[in-house]
Amino acid sequence: MNALNKAPLQIDQNPVAGIGWMLLSGLCFVALTAIVKHLGDAVPAPQSAFLRYLLGLVFLLPMLGTMRREKLDAKTLRAFVFRGMAHTVAVMLWFYSMTRIPLAEVSAMGYLSPIYVSIGAALFLGETLRFRRIAAIGTAILGALIILRPGLRELNGGHLAMLGTSAMFAVSYLLAKQVANRTSPAMVVGMLSITVTVGLAPFAIAVWEPVTWQQVAWFFVIACFATVGHYAMTLAFAAAPITVTQPVNAMQLVWSVLLGALIFGEGVDAFVVIGGAMVVGAVVFIALREHQVRRGSANRPVVP
């Protein structure tokens, strides 16, 4: 975790290592979702989310020195607070949806966040939406409709919760982009953990149920998997270009389908697989296209 105190992280480009780190990241996130699925709804969603973040604060210890030395202006502090609020809602909805819908649907609908980010960036940050990106967004929306099939099957609160989860995570990401250039990575990660823990506390207290030490241990394991997953993803992005890592990241959908079918006895829904593939494909296309545009801009000669 000390690497978070050093910005930017510098690693020699190594596509094989990038693939390995991204595979590890995906497996960590799938293991995290499996544990949450295993715990079920014995612990209310807000309390589950709170315990995950509270126990995860131990990973902030290496960052405290850097965070104490930084000074935040009022605008940046407000952005951190609003990001924490959006993320708080997102994680509560995510924990709730995990107890209501299959793993494959959670994973597939989770990929909608980058789609919301693209739309939000155009609406609020002034980014241009060109035809290819609009087509990819349309493909992702169609894929989501295939997954949900409104009017053709009964939808429950878990489906609505995942739609809200993806939207709130997108808001969190857009706010993170605004503060990333003004503060260190340690501050960005640390403030998110602190604000979300504080934000979840009143919701958790309102529905608090007694927990066993075994459940507490499981929530600490969840926090560990989340930390390792995010850190491995950071190493993957540093070790290899996005053209290599983003398709590997899409493997999370495959792991979720297999895990749901083999461990939790969830049927493999062809509509979810097809719709999920459309959403993931659109996200991968947008990521690769953005990478090409940035590389082209960086290589374009400056005209005096």
Residue 13 confidence class, pLDDT cut points 50, 70, 90: low
* Assigned domain for 288 exists: yes
Q: pLDDT tens digits, residue range 239-257?
A: 777 667 767 777 788 888 8
Higher pLDDT, residue 123 or 249: 123
Beta strands in 137-286 (DSSP E): none
Are 251 and 54 contacting, i.e. CB atoms less than 8 angstroms apart? no
pLDDT top residue among 120 and 210:
210
Q: Is pLDDT at 301 greater than 50 in this prediction?
A: no
Q: What is the 3-state secondary structure (H, E, C) of 273-284?
A: HHHHHHHHHHHH
Q: Residue 271: how many CB atoms within 10 A of its CB?
A: 16
The listed range with the strongest mean pLDDT (12-16, 153-157, 230-234, 287-291) is: 153-157
Residue owning tokens 């990575």 = 185
304 inside domain? no
**pLDDT tens for residues 174-198?**
888 888 778 887 888 889 999 999 9
Measured between alpha carbons, how far is 196 from 49 in angstroms, rounded to an integer? 9
Q: Point out which residues pair with 150 in neighbouring strands.
A: 153
Q: Is residue 229 part of a domain?
A: yes
In a domain, 303, yes or no: no
Indicate the number of domains in the chain: 1
Contact 227, 59 (CB under 8 A): yes
Q: What one-character DSSP code corresponds to residue 43?
A: S
Contact (Cβ atoms closer than 8 angstroms) between residue 105 and residue 271: no
Looking at residue 296, its pLDDT comes to: 59
Of all residues in the chain, the percent with pLDDT exceeding 90 is: 38
**Which band of pLDDT confidence, cut at 50, 70 and 90, is reported for residue 213?**
very high
pLDDT of residue 166: 93
pTM, two decimal places:
0.83
- Asked if the structure places residue 245 within a domain, the reply is yes
Of 71-75, 182-186, 202-206, the range with the highest mean pLDDT is 202-206
Q: How far is 178 from 171, CA to CA, in rounded Å?
A: 11
Task: Judge whether 60 lies within some domain.
Answer: yes
Is the backbone peptide bond immediately before 114 cis, with ω within 30 degrees of 0? no
Question: Whole domain around residue 163: which residue ranges?
Answer: 2-298
Higher-scoring residue by pLDDT: 49, 303: 49
Per-residue pLDDT tens digits for 252-295: 888 888 888 888 888 888 999 999 999 988 888 888 777 676 66
- CA 209/CA 245 separation, integer angstroms: 41
Residue 117 falls inside a structural domain: yes
Q: Is the pLDDT of residue 139 over 80?
A: yes
Cα-only R_g, the chain: 19
Q: Are 171 and 120 in contact (CB under 8 A)?
A: yes
